[in-house]
Amino acid sequence: MTTRQLADAHALISAAQRTYAHHPDASAQLRECKARLGQPLRVALAGSLKAGKSTLLNALVGQDIAPTDATECTKVVTWYRSGATPTVTACYGEAELARRANVPVLRREGRLTFELGDLTAAQVDRLEVEWPSSALTRTTLVDTPGTSSLSRDVSARTFDMLVPEDGASGADAVVYLLRTLDATDVQLLSRIGDHVGDESGPLGVVGVVARADEVGAGRLDAMMSAKEVAERFSGELERAGLCQSVVPVAGLLALAARTMRQTEFAALRQLADVPAEDLQLAMLSADRFARADVVLPVDPAMRAGLVDRFGLFGIRLAVTLIRMGTNDSPTLAAELLQRSGLDELRRVIDVQFGQRAEQLKTHSALVALKRVLVRYPLEDSEEILADAERHLADSHGFRELRLLGRLRSVETGLSAEDVLELQRLVGGFGTDINQRLGTDDSDTPELQRMRALAAVRKWRARAEHPLLDQFTSRACVTAARSAEGILLELG
């Protein structure tokens, strides 16, 4: 179905291009609109200053490719794409005089940075980074400056990318990092929903309780505290219609786990041999832990490096896991990664973004097309506008996305087994027919049709139950509609 929608969007944009052939501004916007359909899904990371966007981007990619220090290059919107070799390009200048310059990639005191040279952040429109990474093959990640920066110009670059006043959003989906939930976050999420989702709501918007290990002050139960915060944020944002789901993630720990060195594991194993009371006293603060006069079997420089890479929470968790029997580096890395929350975020991104990439890209293109048609009205464009609005209104896939987000935090009147079946049917574990129906490649189309038909009957009957609450009833209707879509696809 999404391939057909993609083809329909291509046809509509082509019709608009013919209509606006003699209108330079509209033609340029329509070319960009069509080009987006053939590009990887654009996922932007946004949030306040020092929320941990660059660290989370590095964790998602599994490599240290985004600068995390507050330098000039972190004040610029930066696009990360797949490429054969690492290259960084600065794009600057007005449209007619647009220029590109290569930017050196340096490491200073072990930290990656991009050296802008004579250019300043104010001059650069954006940085384009090409990097050999499988994580970037199907997705372009966009790192944006902090929205609460003391410099209005820095924050404005993020707004211009995500919610421009005179065009469509540059992102198809957004991962929004939260430390708190204040009026600034709510206002920007509302604007993102309007631009990215148009009238369909907060499509492709996932929240992250960032630096989640700091919520509990680095204690071993920090992630449990962060999960409670995420549930509260999720409830508030979903009630306001601003976000699909919220996931707690300790980005620093996730990155350290994905890039763990054998020397770090050896140091952590040495710390695990220290009596618990002595180690607890030494870890009262990060500064104390790295002090030369604190006697530990690991030298101060390595201790400082562990704090920089893992944080106190990560060190405490790693030591505890080693004491419980984790005895090799790969196993420890896997355990830390699972507890960091990154695996859950990647699953949410895959289900809600990756597996619906064509749908989200098509939606972005149609929203951009609609904005061009409304901004430059012509008599011949009215029919194209009507067709675009009709396609945007065909939003069952988007209802599935919103339902999946709400099912994470809203109680239903269904059994746990039925909730699991409903999640599967609406694409919560994958969007192909076998994943939705619980079948496999060896099953016949006839069996698939029988299961789909049974699902239609079951969920239609459930939706009509007089004692169901409104949310559960709507969820059942959505599940039935998904099963009907499978029947159509099966012919």
Across the range 210-216, mean pLDDT stands at 85
Gap between the Cα atoms of 260 and 330, Å rounded = 8
Length of the chain: 491
**pLDDT, mean of residues 97-115:** 84
- For residue 1, the model assigns a pLDDT of 47
Res 151 pLDDT > 60: no
Residue 349 pLDDT > 50, yes or no? yes
pTM of the entire predicted model = 0.82
Is the sign of the CA dihedral 414, 419, 425, 427 positive or negative?
positive
Residue 96 confidence class, pLDDT cut points 50, 70, 90: low
Q: Give me the DSSP letters along 454-483.
A: HHHHHHHHHHT-TTS-HHHHHHHHHHHHHH
* Whether 215 contacts 229, CB under 8 Å: yes
Please give the backbone phi and psi of residue 430, each rounded to the nearest 5 degrees, phi first. Answer: 140, 155
Band of pLDDT at residue 459, cut at 50, 70 and 90:
very high
Query: 233-246: per-residue pLDDT in tens?
Result: 887 886 666 777 78
User: What pLDDT score was predicted for residue 336?
Assistant: 96
What is the pLDDT, as a whole number, of residue 350? Answer: 86
Q: Which residues pair with 127 in a beta bridge?
A: 78, 90
Quick one: pLDDT at residue 202? 47
Question: Among candidates 169, 168, 95, 103, which has minimal Cα distance to 130?
Answer: 103
Q: For position 193, what pLDDT does the model report?
A: 73
Per the model's pLDDT, the better-predicted residue between 483 and 240 turns out to be 483
Range 295-321 average pLDDT = 94
Residue spans of beta strands (DSSP E) within 162-227: 173-178, 205-209
Does residue 94 or residue 258 have the better pLDDT? Answer: 258
Is 342 within 8 Å of 59 (Cβ atoms)? yes
State residue 439 phi and psi, 5-degree precision.
-100, 180
At 141 the pLDDT is: 95
pLDDT at residue 490 greater than cutoff 70:
yes
The span from the CA of 333 to the CA of 312, in Å, is 16
pLDDT of res. 184: 82
Model confidence at 409, in pLDDT bands (50, 70, 90)? Answer: low
Average the pLDDT over each of 70-74, 287-291, 360-364, 389-393 and give the range with the smallest value: 70-74
Q: What is the CA angle 301-307-310, rounded to 5?
A: 130
* Maximum separation of any 2 CA atoms in the chain, in Å: 80
* pLDDT average, residue stretch 352-363: 83
Can you tell me which residue has the tokens 């400082």?
A: 304
Q: What is the pLDDT of residues 1-24, one digit of tens each?
A: 467 778 888 999 999 999 999 999
User: Which range, of 235-249, 351-365, 379-393, averages the lowest pLDDT?
Assistant: 235-249
The mean of the pLDDT values for the chain is 87
Task: Please check the confidence at residue 410 and state whether its pLDDT lies above 80.
Answer: no
pLDDT at 461 over 60: yes
Crossing angle between the packed helical segments 445-463 and 470-490, to the nearest 10 degrees: 160
Confidence at residue 448, expressed as pLDDT on a 0 to 100 scale: 92
* pLDDT tens-digit map of 64-91: 999 887 677 888 999 999 999 999 999 9
Q: Is the pLDDT of residue 438 over 60?
A: yes
Residue 107's pLDDT band (cuts 50, 70, 90)? confident
User: Which pLDDT score, from 0 to 100, does residue 30 have?
Assistant: 93
In the numeric block, which tokens belong to residue 416? 């746990």
